A and B are shown apart, each in its own frame.
Chain A
Amino acid sequence: MLVLITYDVNVTTDLGKSRLRRVAKQCVNYGQRVQNSVFECLVDPTQFAELKHRLESIVDPNTDSLRYYFLGSNWKNRVEHFGAKVGYDPEGVLML
C-alpha cells in the first residue's frame, strides 16, 4: 500500500532541528521524498507499523505533528503530479 506521510516539526529550538532531521531520515528509509516534508512510502502493513513507531518515538506531540494518508494498493489513479520534481513509480520499471 502507498502511504503519504507529511509532518510539521517545530524548529525554533536546536532540539527541534535535530528531531526534524531524524524524522526526515526515517521517512527517506521507507519511501521517496516528493516534496519538502512530504513522503510517499510503498510499504506493507508491518513495515508501516515499524515506521510509525519510529516516527512517533522521535516527535514531540506538544509541538510537532504527523499526518498519514492511506492511498491503498490501487494508488496510481489517486495521485496526479504537476510541475517540477517528478518522482519515480516504485512499482514501474526501474532502469538507469
Chain B
Amino acid sequence: MRRLLNTLYVTLPDAYLACDGENVLVKVDNEIRFRVPVHNLEGIVCFGFAGASPKLMYLCCERGVALSFLNEYGKFMGRITGNVSGNVLLRRTQYRWADDKEISVRLSRRFIAAKIINSRAVLHRALRDHGKVVDNKALEYAMACLARMPERLEKALDGNTVRGIEGEAAHLYFSNFNQLIVSQKDGFPIFGRNRRPPTDRVNALLSFLYTLLSHEVAAALESVGLDPQVGFLHRDRPGRQSLALDVMEELRPHFADRLAVTLINRNQISEAGFVVKENGAVIMSDETRKEVLTSWQKRKQEEITHPYLEEKIPLGLVPYVQALLLARHLRGDLEDYPPFFWK
C-alpha cells in the first residue's frame, strides 16, 4: 500500500512559497520560516497567499505533489497539475462509460447507496452515544426511512430518479443534523443544509470540510489516472470536478460530517470563532480554521480497517483506495465498484 505523506497548509497571508534544491521553503519578508523536503509531502494547500515561485510549481509537477490555492475563506480557486498522468485507455473507458446511461446510473446508485448508509451510520452513532438527550423517535424514524432507500435506489433507472432519492435522503439527514450537536447547541443551530454562502456556523464548517475533502479526492483520482472532471452522477460542467464529487458522496458523512460534529461537541471550536457578514454569510476566523485543519490532519492519520480490502490503512488513504478500486472496475479487474461503507 502506498504511504500516506504529509500535507503542508500555508495560512499566513503574506507567505511566499519557494524551493531550494529538493526543499519547499515558506518565506515571510524574504526570511525563511520553514523548510521541508518535497518527498515528505503529498500536497500543499495555500489559503490567501502572497505567491509561489514558478520553480516550486515545476518541482511540484515533477514530483506529483498537488499544489492547490484556496482563498482565505477556504474556497477552491485552482490547482497546479503536471502532465495528465496515467493510462489513456483507462480515461477513454471512463469517458465511454460516462456517456453510457446504463453504466452511469449503476455507478451513481453505488455512490449514493453508500452515502445513504453512511449518513444513517452517523445518525445511529448519535443515538448510541447520546441516546438520553436526543429525540429518539425522530432519529429512529429518519434512520428507518434511510434504511429503506437503497432498495428503492436499486430500482432507479435513470439519473434523475437517483438524484431525487439522494435529495430526499439529504433532506431527511440534514433536518436531523441539529440533534447530533449535544454541546453548544445555542451557538451552532442548523436546520438543513445551505451554501453559497453558508448562513449558519455548522454549514460554514461543513462547506469548508467538503472543500478539503474534494481537494483530496480529486488528487487521488488523478494519481490513479482517472479524469476528475468526468463524472457519472454529476454531469459535466466547465470547471466542475464531477467525478471527484461523485466519489466524495460516499465519504462525506464519515470524513466531514462526523468531524464537524466532534469539533463542536468537544468544544474545540466555539461560537465566537465565526464571523457573520452583513449579507448573512458566515465565515470562519483564522484560529478556527487552523483548529479545523489540525483536526483534519490528525483524523487522516487514524488507522481503520478498510471494509473491502480488509487491510489496515490510515483514513487519509481512503480516497486513494476508492479511486484505485474504481480504476480497477473500469479496467475490468473488478466486477463492480465497491463503495466505502462505514459502520
Q: Which of A82-96 contact B (CB under 8 A)?
A: 88, 90-96
User: A95: which of B9, B22, B41 is its contact (CB, 8 Å)?
Assistant: B9
Which chain B residues lie closer than 8 Å to A94 at the CB level? 6-9, 34, 36, 41, 297
Q: How many residues of B contact A (CB 8 A)?
A: 28
Contact bitstring B210-242, A, C-beta under 8 A = 1, else 0: 000000000000000000000000000000000
**A7 at interface by CB-CB < 8 Å:** no
Number of interchain pairs (Cβ within 8 Å): 61
Contact: B21 with A43, CB < 8 Å?
no
Q: Which residues of A contact B56 (CB under 8 A)?
A: none
The answer to whether the Cβ of B290 comes within 8 Å of any Cβ in the partner chain is yes
User: Which residues of A have CB within 8 Å of B41?
Assistant: 94
Q: Inside 8 A of A88's CB, which chain B residues have their CB?
A: 34, 36
B interface, CB within 8 angstroms of A: 3, 6-12, 15, 20-23, 26, 33-37, 39-41, 290, 293-294, 297-298, 301
Please measure, in the bound complex, the distance between the C-alpha atom of A29 and the C-alpha atom of B40, giving whole angstroms: 11
Residues of chain B lying within 8 A (CB to CB) of residue A28:
20-21, 23, 35
Is A37 close to B, CB under 8 A? no
Contact, CB under 8 Å: B21 / A47: no
Residues of B within 8 A of A32 (CB): 35-37
**Chain A, residue nearest B33 (CB):** A96
> Is A16's beta carbon under 8 Å from chain B?
no
Contact flag A25-B21 (CB < 8 Å), given A43-B39, A96-B34: yes
- A96 CA to B297 CA in the complex, in Å? 13
Contacts of B294 in A (CB 8 A): 93, 95
List 23 A–B pairs whose Cβ atoms lie within 8 Å, in order of A's numbering: A25-B21, A28-B21, A29-B22, A30-B22, A30-B39, A32-B37, A44-B3, A47-B39, A88-B34, A90-B36, A90-B40, A92-B6, A93-B294, A93-B298, A94-B6, A94-B8, A94-B34, A95-B11, A95-B290, A95-B297, A96-B8, A96-B11, A96-B15
